[in-house]
Structure 1
């Protein structure tokens, strides 16, 4: 979405369907090519709540600087996919002993950490609003923590797969465990949990990336990256509560309150005047993940067959109840 016409279509289509509220995110650059800024001002006026080139990094420091300057003016975040493609190009999993054993090209942690460091420096320069997407490494958590201690305007998110499983899920060339950034090590998983616990990481996001079964049946090198994460996100995140990493109020904050605040939405809380979009959860209900029963058209999940505890039972959206 790099122009106002597409933004307007997304909003009108969501209203027409009516099942949920959709807030469009505009592209930072035209065609997500990283070469020229998109029409950020016009897209903002049409209803975009943030800007991101999604799964592509903005490699030009000058363009990212300009985007962050606009973010300050519009008071909306720039959501950055942090990946140095010079280091990651051709990589399909975490770089290390396991990638060497499997004969797969790896992506080093530094590919993520270098761009995070750059973007934080640019956020400090511009005083813009920076949000780091899908944090996956110990080093990234440390860099973001230090930036927050310095008072830089940066927020961050991670995803359930980055605190639930490691690169070992790729063994057997399991393409359903192929994501970008890749699954990392036990050390990284522990750092992500600590980052969630101490507030370094503000948000748990799904990074929902459904793919057709045929796409994921390709050879590992050729299969697309991504997990169909929407339907397991809450249940996997509730494990953090059951394990004592987060309290229930902290989890609610990571999944509702903070995302709404970052995007400037009147949502995420039950206070008077907030939108009545509510999910009721049975935190103790056990169930088996069955990918074939997903409502999403994408059934690509590495959690198929896993027993999880806790699930949503009722959703209220704009006053309409879904069970």
Structure 2
């Protein structure tokens, strides 16, 4: 739970932004000292984004990612359903201000890519007191639909979103993926950016049903997935 007014109201122990930002600053300092390469997973605070932005400007070899839920959700999700343990993540969901800073970091290239941070849990690992529940969201199947909220709100272009999920992560690691050019691996996803659907965690293909999005309507879905030339997922086609 993010350390803030809502954590106080709910009587939950909060995790301050500084817990992340101090660790990010330390690791960036070590990368600067050694000349090594650093990747920072699932940033969650505006301060962490600014640390990475300054480090990149000074030549530090750093890449970073953000998870869909940290871009689109806030700590308010914990209170929408009383003590919803499905909204317990690591790092925690923070404020709308942090989410806006993360989005700006994604737009300007400070954050290289979006990663699902898919963390399926057994029901028993969430059916307990909030601070005892294992953190994580089963987020792979809702990632695209949730991220499409940014596109439909005109906060991010569709091409920008697709790049953040494909060629930008591939480029960060120097991998020959995320391209439809002749000779490239036949890894293709067919999307419907407007199809609306209601999230029902019980229908997830994942064994992890832990999602705070149950009952919400998302616009945007995957219709077909081709991996190395083979159809591995089909939805209505």
Fold-level match, TM-score > 0.5? yes
1:166 is aligned to 2:68: no
Pairs within 5 Å for 1:1-323: 93-171=1-79, 172-321=82-231, 322-323=233-234
CA distance in 2, matches of 1:274, 1:237: 26
Per the normalisation by structure 2, the TM-score is: 0.94
CA contact (8 A) 1:197 1:245 kept: no
CA distance in 2, matches of 1:236, 1:263: 25
Q: Quote the residue 1:88 is aligned against.
A: none
Per-residue deviation at 1:213? 1.1
Q: Which runs of 5+ in 1 are unaligned?
A: 1-92
CA distance in 1, matches of 2:35, 2:158: 33
Per the normalisation by structure 1, the TM-score is: 0.70
Structure 1 stretches (4+) deviating beyond 4 angstroms?
none
Per-residue deviation at 1:101? 1.4
More relative contact order, 1 or 2 (CA 8 Å, 6+ apart): 2
CA distance in 2, matches of 1:317, 1:144: 33
Per-residue deviation at 1:265? 2.1
Per-residue deviation at 1:302? 0.6
Q: Which runs of 5+ in 2 are unaligned?
A: none
